[in-house]
Amino acid sequence: MDTFSIVKPTRVSWEAFKDFRLQALWDEPQAFSSSYNVEKNAPGKFWQDRLKNSKEGKRSWMVFAKYGEKLVGMVGAYQTPDDSKNKEANMVAMFVAKDARRKGVAKLLTTSLFEELQNAQLQKVKTCVNIDQLAALHLYKALGFAKVSEHSLLFGDGKTHTVYLMEKLLT
Ligand SMILES: CC(C)(COP(=O)(O)OP(=O)(O)OC[C@H]1O[C@@H](n2cnc3c(N)ncnc32)[C@H](O)[C@@H]1OP(=O)(O)O)[C@@H](O)C(=O)NCCC(=O)NCCS
């Protein structure tokens, strides 16, 4: 029987990454600040570079979940130059396929991501969440993230939503 496994970007083809990211943007347009229409025509190099950068683990990370050979989850993180100075990273692109939810996949993904960020000597992880995404909000609270501020942001569904900027110490 197949089980969930957490895999590094080296075990994911850029085509599979592209398909899964587009699935995320299609299924949950209100969860991401980018959109299906913006990313659907991006060239192969765009997806190859995103994976390549995260393989190097310098200022960019990605962790994937598979069920058998099928991608069912992903999460990423990146640093701006200021984040780098402050030993912080931004967690982004969190998505678990609908038929794999409530099985602990997001917890596995974040555990692996935080290990990588700690190995890179980072001290804090930040994220931004649409407060209507209740599953994500519950998840982040359960992981120890705390709200630091509230803003408005345009999402992939073309609407402006209230977001919480949240932070968690990694130490
Ligand atoms: C948020 C999301 C990643 C959670 O993935 P998941 O694999 O189902 O989460 P897990 O099974 O690991 O759940 C971990 C914890 O998150 C919380 N949680 C997850 N789904 C929840 C839900 N539907 N309702 C309430 N709490 C939920 C719970 O605290 C859960 O712990 P528990 O099962 O012990 O109660 C998934 O629902 C998703 O992809 N949502 C759409 C995309 C999205 O909103 N991304 C975030 C962008 S900021």
Q: What is the DSSP string of the chain?
A: ---EEEE-GGGS-HHHHHHHHHHHHHH-GGG-SS-HHHHTT--HHHHHHHHHHHHHTSSEEEEEEEETTEEEEEEEEE--HHHHHHTEEEEEEEEE-GGGTTSSHHHHHHHHHHHHHHHTT--EEEEEEETT-HHHHHHHHHTT-EEEEEEEEE-TTS-EEEEEEEEEE--
Ligand 1, atom 27, residue with closest C-alpha: 135
Q: How far is the CA of 96 from the centre of ligand 1 (A)?
A: 8
The domains of the chain are located at 4-122
Ligand 1 mutation target, pool 36, 96, 141, 145, most atoms within 8 A of CB: 96
CATH superfamily of 4-122: Gcn5-related N-acetyltransferase (GNAT) (3.40.630.30)
Ligand 1 within 6 A of CB of 147: no
Tens of pLDDT along the chain (171 residues)?
A: 568 999 999 999 999 999 999 999 999 999 999 999 999 999 999 999 999 989 887 799 999 999 999 999 999 999 999 999 999 999 999 999 999 999 999 999 999 999 999 999 999 999 999 999 999 999 999 999 999 999 999 999 999 999 999 999 998
Ligand 1 within 6 A of CB of 31: yes
Ligand 1 within 6 A of CB of 113: no
